[in-house]
């Protein structure tokens, strides 16, 4: 595939990881960036040597000169920006990567997917947690039938890490942990076990300084008959702190798979035990403990480029991630109404 050019909208806290990752991918160049905050825009442009800088996304799209756009803004801006990308180039459209959650509601999500699909371009959601190398190792083992047929799973993320220091806006929304973190953990459960038929959720707010929930426990009945539990907490005090590790336990007909703290993958099967260190590398621009997440950004963005090169849909396409987004909406509905929600309702 010839060299492809991209633009990035949103130069905030997490977008710096995306810019670093793009810089490390052969055959890709970010040629334009956009942010309404001129200070952030200048800092990002200077740090990454990008001269084309915009405070108006519409103007950036009009001037063009790139093949894809990476949208790293907050959720309310996603639909208008995706639709701008679909209209760009006189309607030819652009390939799009959009941060999660990619829409405010299911109707918007469907309209965004349809807008990009109508141009024949690729729409991928930046759902990077399933691309963490430790989680990826577990996914591949299950896909290779390492423990037979799964019948139970637990996907857990429990921490007391101060995520609000770097992203203060997280404390302001009526929704918090399911929408911001739980969406990742739910997606991991889907990637490990399969799509979901029914969901039941409870939530709780422990931290009085935030508006949304910071604890969620979710029971998933998968379409293939497997039951899984997804539990998330930013109110858990533990030592040592495991942020930002996702811990796994999957029971199968032939054994058990566990991903424990410290990136230790254990597979017990056939009377034997295989224990591996699946700790992620610390990339040159990364910093512990975030290196796990930062590496996953590089991996998913490489996957996007590979998908374009090979002419196939990315694993976290808009259509695929719509199913994860539906789990978020169903979890909130379940918690609010105190009942099990069938995904068919959405």
Q: What gap in Å lies between CA 178 and CA 274, rounded to an integer?
A: 33
On the question of a cis peptide bond just before residue 181, with omega within 30 degrees of 0, the verdict is: no
Domains defined along the chain, listed by start: 4-126 (3.40.50.720), 130-284+317-345 (3.30.360.10)
Are 71 and 304 within 8 A, CB to CB? Answer: no
Question: What pLDDT does residue 191 have?
Answer: 98
Question: What pLDDT does residue 1 have?
Answer: 52
Q: Residue-wise over 250-277: b if at least 16 C-beta within 10 A, else e? A: bbbeebbbbbeeebebebbbeeeeeeee
Q: 319 falls in which pLDDT band (50, 70, 90)?
A: very high
Average pLDDT over residues 123-150: 97
| Whether pLDDT at 180 is above 60 | yes
Average pLDDT over residues 280-303: 97
Q: Model confidence over 29-87: pLDDT tens digits?
A: 999 999 999 999 999 999 999 999 999 999 999 999 999 999 999 999 999 999 999 99
Q: Model confidence over 230-273: pLDDT tens digits?
A: 999 999 999 999 999 999 999 999 999 999 999 999 999 988 99
| Whether pLDDT at 160 is above 90 | yes
State pTM to two decimals: 0.96
Residues 6+ apart with CB under 8 A from 346: 106, 326, 329, 330
Q: What gap in Å lies between CA 91 and CA 85, rounded to an integer?
A: 9
Q: 166 falls in which pLDDT band (50, 70, 90)?
A: confident
Q: Model confidence over 196-217: pLDDT tens digits?
A: 999 999 999 999 999 999 999 9
Residues 6+ apart with CB under 8 A from 320: 125, 313
Q: What share of the chain in percent tops pLDDT 90?
A: 97
Of 28, 118, 123, 35, the closest CA to residue 72 belongs to: 35
On the question of a cis peptide bond just before residue 289, with omega within 30 degrees of 0, the verdict is: yes
Q: What gap in Å lies between CA 154 and CA 177, rounded to an integer?
A: 17
Token digits for 140?
């591949």
Question: What pLDDT does residue 167 have?
Answer: 87
| Whether pLDDT at 104 is above 70 | yes
């Amino acid at each position: 595939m010839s060299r492809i050019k991209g633009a990035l909208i949103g130069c905030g806290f997490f977008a710096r990881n995306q810019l670093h990752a793009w810089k490390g991918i052969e055959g890709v160049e970010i040629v334009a960036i956009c942010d309404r905050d001129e200070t952030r825009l200048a800092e990002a442009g200077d740090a990454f040597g990008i001269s084309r800088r915009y405070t108006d996304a519409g103007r950036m799209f009009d001037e063009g000169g790139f093949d894809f756009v990476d949208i790293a803004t907050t959720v309310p801006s996603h639909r208008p920006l995706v639709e701008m990308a679909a209209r760009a180039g006189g309607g030819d459209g652009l390939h799009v990567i959009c941060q999660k959650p990619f829409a405010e509601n299911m109707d918007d999500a469907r309209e965004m997917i349809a807008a990009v699909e109508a141009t024949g371009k690729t729409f991928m959601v930046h759902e990077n947690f399933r691309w963490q190398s430790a989680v990826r190792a577990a996914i591949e083992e299950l896909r290779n039938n390492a423990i037979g047929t799964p019948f139970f799973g637990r996907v857990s993320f429990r921490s007391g890490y101060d995520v609000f220091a770097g992203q203060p806006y997280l404390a302001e929304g009526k929704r918090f942990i399911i929408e911001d973190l739980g969406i990742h953990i739910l997606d991991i459960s889907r990637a490990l076990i399969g799509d979901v038929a029914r969901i039941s959720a409870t939530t709780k707010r422990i931290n009085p300084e935030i508006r949304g929930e910071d604890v969620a426990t979710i029971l998933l009945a998968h379409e293939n008959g497997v039951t899984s539990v997804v539990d998330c907490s930013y109110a858990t005090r533990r030592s040592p702190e495991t942020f930002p590790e996702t811990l796994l336990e999957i029971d199968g007909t032939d054994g058990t798979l566990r991903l424990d703290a410290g990136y230790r993958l254990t597979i017990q099967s056939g009377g034997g035990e295989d224990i591996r260190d699946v700790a992620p590398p610390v990339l040159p621009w990364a910093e512990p403990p975030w290196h796990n997440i930062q590496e996953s950004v590089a991996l998913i963005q490489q996957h996007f480029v590979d998908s374009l090169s090979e002419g196939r849909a990315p694993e976290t396409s808009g259509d695929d991630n719509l199913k994860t987004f539906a789990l978020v909406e169903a979890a909130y509905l379940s918690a609010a109404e105190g009942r099990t929600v069938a995904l068919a309702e959405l």
